[in-house]
Amino acid sequence: MTRQKGKHPHGNKRKLGLTRLLLTVAVVPSLFVLAGCGTKAGPQNAEGNRAPGTVIHNGSSSVAPSNGTAVNSTTSTTPSTTAIGQNSTNQSSDTTPQSAFVPHFSSVDMVTPTAGWASGQIAGDIALWRSRYGGVVWARVPLPFVKSVNNGTGFAMSVYGAHQLLVANVTATGVQTYETTDGGKSWLKLGQVNTTDTMISYFHFINPTDGWMVTDNGVAAHESIYHLFQTTDGGKIWHIIAKTNNQNPFASGSIPGYGEAVFSFEADGTGWMTGQGFLSGKGFLMRSSDGGKSWTTIRVPVPSADVSTLVTTSKPIYSNGMTAIVVQYQGQNRNTTVILRINGQGQVVSTSSPLITNTPVMTNFASPLDGWATTAPWQPNHPQLYRTTNGGQTWEAMPVNDQMLMTNPRMHFITPTVGFAFAANQDTGSPVIWRTRDGGQTWQRLMMKIYATGGPASPNQNSSPPPPQFTPGSIDFVSDSVGYLIGNYGNGQTEEGRVYKTTDAGKHWTEIYHTGVGIAAIDALGNDVWISVGAQAGSTQGTLMFSRDGGKSFTRLASGGLTSIDFVSPNDGYAVQAGDMFNNKLLSTRDGGQIWKVQSLPIAKSTNGNVQAFAALGSPTSVSFADKLHGILLQTGEPGAGQQPKSVLDTDDGGASWAVVSSARMGGNSAHGQFQLGSGGYANGIDMVPGNPSIAYIWESRGPLIYTSNGGKSWEASSLTKPGELEATSVFMLNTKDGFVLIHDMGPSGSSFILEKTIDGLQSWQPVYQWQ
Segment 544-583, tens digit of pLDDT: 999 999 999 999 998 888 999 999 999 999 999 987 656 7
Centroid of chain to Cα 345: 42
Whole-angstrom distance, CA of residue 379 vs CA of residue 662: 31
Q: Label residue 330 by pLDDT band (50, 70, 90).
A: confident
Residue 533 maps to a domain: no
pLDDT on residue 100: 47
pLDDT(430) > 80: no
**First-to-final CA distance of the chain:** 39
pLDDT on residue 44: 28
Nearest alpha carbon to residue 18 among 536, 739, 533 = 536
pTM of full prediction above 0.95: no
Whole-angstrom distance, CA of residue 565 vs CA of residue 169: 53
Type of residue at 183: G
Mean pLDDT of 221-241: 87
Whole-angstrom distance, CA of residue 104 vs CA of residue 567: 43
pLDDT on residue 767: 94
561 to 446, 671, 712, 716: CA distances (angstroms) = 18, 35, 27, 32
pLDDT on residue 639: 67
Q: Label residue 454 by pLDDT band (50, 70, 90).
A: confident
For 714-737, b where at least 16 C-beta lie within 10 A, e where not — what string?
Answer: ebebbebbebbebbbbbbbbbbee
| 248-252 CB contacts, 8 Å cutoff, 24+ apart | 250/295, 250/296, 250/297, 252/293, 252/294
Q: Which has more pLDDT, 368 or 503?
A: 503
pLDDT on residue 518: 84
Considering the chain, what percentage of its residues have pLDDT values greater than 90? 35
pLDDT(5) > 50: no
Mean pLDDT of 624-647: 85
Residue 364 maps to a domain: no
φ/ψ of residue 500, rounded to 5: -120, 155
Q: Which has more pLDDT, 490 or 656?
A: 656
pLDDT on residue 633: 96
pLDDT(143) > 80: yes
- Domain ends where: 461, 493, 511? 461
Q: What would the 3-class secondary structure string for 147-208 be?
A: CCCCCCCCEEEEECCCCCEEEEEEECCEEEEEEECCCCCEEEEEEEECCCCCEEEEEEECCC
- Domain ends where: 406, 428, 461? 461
Q: Could you tell me if 447 and 24 are in contact, meaning their C-beta atoms sit under 8 angstroms apart?
A: yes
pLDDT on residue 725: 85
For residue 487, the number of C-alpha atoms closer than 13 Å in the C-beta half-sphere is: 21
Considering the chain, what percentage of its residues have pLDDT values greater than 70? 72
Whole-angstrom distance, CA of residue 735 vs CA of residue 732: 9
Whole-angstrom distance, CA of residue 303 vs CA of residue 313: 18
Beta bridge partners of 296: 287
568 to 11, 400, 543, 593: CA distances (angstroms) = 7, 32, 20, 12
DSSP 232: S
Lowest mean pLDDT across 30-44, 229-243, 531-545, 720-734:
30-44
15 by DSSP, 3-state: which?
coil
Q: Which has more pLDDT, 685 or 263?
A: 685
pLDDT digits 0-9 by tens, 51-74:
333 333 323 322 222 334 333 333
Mean pLDDT of 488-503: 82
The chain-wide mean pLDDT, for the chain, equals 77
Contact partners, residue 355, CB within 8 Å, separation at least 6 = 336, 337, 338, 361, 373, 386, 392, 395
Whole-angstrom distance, CA of residue 288 vs CA of residue 271: 5
Mean pLDDT of 45-53: 33
Residue 355 maps to a domain: no
pLDDT(413) > 60: yes
pLDDT on residue 672: 35
pLDDT digits 0-9 by tens, 251-282:
677 776 665 677 888 888 888 887 665 444 45
pLDDT(315) > 80: no
pLDDT on residue 43: 27
pLDDT on residue 129: 92
Q: Label residue 46 by pLDDT band (50, 70, 90).
A: very low
Lowest mean pLDDT across 283-292, 495-504, 761-770:
283-292
- Domain ends where: 461, 490, 523? 461
Mean pLDDT of 750-761: 90
146 by DSSP, 3-state: which?
coil
Lowest mean pLDDT across 80-84, 221-225, 339-343, 485-489:
80-84
Q: Which has more pLDDT, 504 or 350?
A: 504
Mean pLDDT of 95-109: 66
Mean pLDDT of 205-227: 81
φ/ψ of residue 678, rounded to 5: -75, 150
Residue 238 maps to a domain: yes
Type of residue at 124: G
Q: What is the CATH number of the domain that holds 746?
A: 2.130.10.10
Residue 198 maps to a domain: yes
Q: Label residue 214 by pLDDT band (50, 70, 90).
A: very high
**What is the tally of structural domains in the chain?**
2
pLDDT on residue 407: 84
Mean pLDDT of 320-344: 81
pLDDT(603) > 90: no
106 to 111, 175, 429, 697: CA distances (angstroms) = 16, 19, 10, 40
Domain region containing 764: 600-772
Burial degree of 459 (CB within 10 A; 0-12, 13-18, 19+): middle
Whole-angstrom distance, CA of residue 148 vs CA of residue 171: 6
Residue 143 maps to a domain: yes
Contact partners, residue 392, CB within 8 Å, separation at least 6 = 324, 326, 337, 338, 339, 352, 353, 355, 371
Q: Label residue 522 by pLDDT band (50, 70, 90).
A: very high
pLDDT(22) > 50: no
Residue 252 maps to a domain: no
Residue 168 maps to a domain: yes
What would you report as the CA-atom Rg of the chain, rounded to the nearest whole angstrom? 29
